[in-house]
Structure 1
Amino acid sequence: MRGKEQPTKKTTFLQGFEKATWNFFPTSHGKGAPDGIGGTVKRTADNLVLRGNDVTDGHTFFEKVSNSLKGVQLHYIVEEDMERYDTLLIDPLRPVPSTRQIHQVIAHENRIHYRQLSCFCSKMLDCQCFCPATFYFQGPDEQQSDTRRARKKRLLNMLWEEMENEMGGEMEEDVEMEDVMEELDEEPLKGPEGTVTVTTVSSLNNGDWLAVVYDDHWWLAKTIAVDTEHQDVKVEFLHPHGPTAKVEPKCGKKDVCFCPVQDIIVKLMGNASPVQSRTREIYSIAPDVMDFIEREHVRRLLLKA
């Protein structure tokens, strides 16, 4: 779901459905039944060419493959058909953020609800599990602002509970939620020596250490591959997620995932790089670096909400 038009086409003002949900199971939104049908169609065309048939254009492809495949129905679409639907799209069309991390889209007229984990506990799919966000494709700015602020409060409450559990008690009563949100909305603080802000993946190389956000937690990750076309990076996560004193690669199958550049908190170099133990592949981060990552993680998480 990388294209910004895809979430728009799922909203009901175009299709007419009362309620709809679309779920992406693999992290990178991998292949499914449509890809299998597409592979069958292409193999059929390859076999036709091997038998001496000439396939020189789309219409010839459509006719010859349709006659050879009885279980698959093909439709020939001309450019005029696509232009007619393009006129229905909102102009300018605002992209939904972090589409690679979205695993459930719930369609409504002119807006979608989306979240990183799918949930079906409610018949109308309007539950608040896993901190769903609302995105308006067109409408008053106040609605978008209120939605972002409501999500910020939900995330902050969740983080607040985690901090209370780690500290074994309640936080100070005189700390106001609004004051915390205003503080986190400020410009990012300068990090310790060796922490580098990443704005484009072109500055990254294989083997670079990163602190990244995934599933509302921050993780220490090692760069495996860089995708400059889509501005994301393939990383291996070390476990457990932060904040923690020591991390190590996942036992058995490696925990690998694509991470968009906007979810990279910071690049760790020099004195800020993780330190490996002498006997095992266990890494640790300096306390001041971990404290900076934790504060920047919370700030970015709420700003993105």
Structure 2
Amino acid sequence: MYRECRVCGSGEITFDQSIHLGKQVSWFTWKTKQVEKEITMHGNTVQKKMTVTAKESEYGSLEVLQEEVNKDIKRLSKHFFNIRHQYRTLRYLREDLTTDEILVHIDFSENYNCKYSSEIQSMHFGSSQKQISLQTGVAYSKGKVVSFCTVSDCLKHNPAAIWAHMHPVLEYLRNETNATVIHIISDGPTTQYRNKQNVYLLANKVFSYGFRCATWNFLEAGHGKGAADGIGVVVKRTADAFVNKGGDITKASELMTALESCTSIKLMMVSELNIKDVEEEIPLSVKPVPRTMQLHQILVPQQGMISHRPLSCFCSRPNLVCNCFQPETASFPVQSDFDVIDSSSPSKERETEPVRDANQLQRIELVDESLISQHCVVKYDGRAYPGVVLAVDQDDEIEVKTMHRVERNRFFWPMSDDSLWYPKENIITLLKNPPRSVTKRHVEIEPAIWMLIEQEEDEF
């Protein structure tokens, strides 16, 4: 399936061997890079670095082109297999649910912009328009389908917000059915569903609703659309129709009132306090799950224990535990009744991070969502730039928003974000502390760390 079979071989394309491999050829490829452009600011023309994606022509030998084609085909084959497998497996599950199971497909819809039936012009600009957060979904049980939408004035989409939005849904489903097993389907953005905090909450919270086990299944990247997205469309169009008839929607409670009588979608309210309550349930330090970006199924057979694998499998239902796709196990601390953890009290889970020498470069060993929001220094065009990690992907690449450099160890944040995807090898070090201010606009990296970074620059 991934062209790694010892029997079938690598599955590489075989090319005509009569052609001379040293022959020079050209081909097109998509590239993301930084370019300098002249822009006018306050009457002055300045050079600004911008990230652009463009289709470019490359030149090289036929042998290099063949290697590039085989690399791309291998990545495409894995991606395509994941798409087909996840769709096929989850469709089979939905069509073969037992009376003991519930399948819930969820997704955050784009925030709804609040509207008045009649507005002055300035309401269309700036931050005048408030927004409402929507998490939509469809719940499937034996012989029954329920569409739902949770609404909130709080715009957070982090793991705490996810489980605050899930709370009224799970309570409703548990009261309406006799199911003891729940299967959840979602896409896999690292800032929302596919991260260690969400896995920790899944391993603990799902049991408080009376379920004996659960699975969380991720659709392949770029292919997460489904029924939940249709619910979001219906909610927004129905709300717009209400406004067009003379109504006003300025907050989540008004959206609930406006839609309750004109849609069969079950609407539920989530407050900011609900989200804060869940945030307090998450320990300050949660260990990451290895290969988070590659897994597509998380199984929770018992509280605090998970089993994860690169693809979903339900061949052993109703027990769910099987050895397909080489599952790995991990455990999390079990929180009794989810009491708030006292940050002043010592605990083992708060000491998972090893103490590091502050005057050493910290290399990246494992690319996972725990890197997101960390400060780092990247290597670009032979120079070092500090920045913040925005995202990671399953190919060990890291998206970093970088600062601009004006002189030796002097940096500043540009007016527009300057972000780019870097291979893991281009991350010089993670920074324990963010760069510190030296003027109103400029910052510097700790001098001891900067000296080590300069030594790296000399070797670029």
Q: TM-score range by the shorter chain?
A: 0.3 to 0.5
TM-score (norm. length: structure 2): 0.31
- Greater relative contact order, per chain length (Cα 8 Å cut-off, separation 6+): 1
Q: Compare the two structures and name the one with the higher helix fraction.
A: 1
Q: Compare the two structures and name the one with the higher strand fraction.
A: 2
Of structures 1 and 2, the larger Rg is shown by 2
TM-score (norm. length: structure 1): 0.45
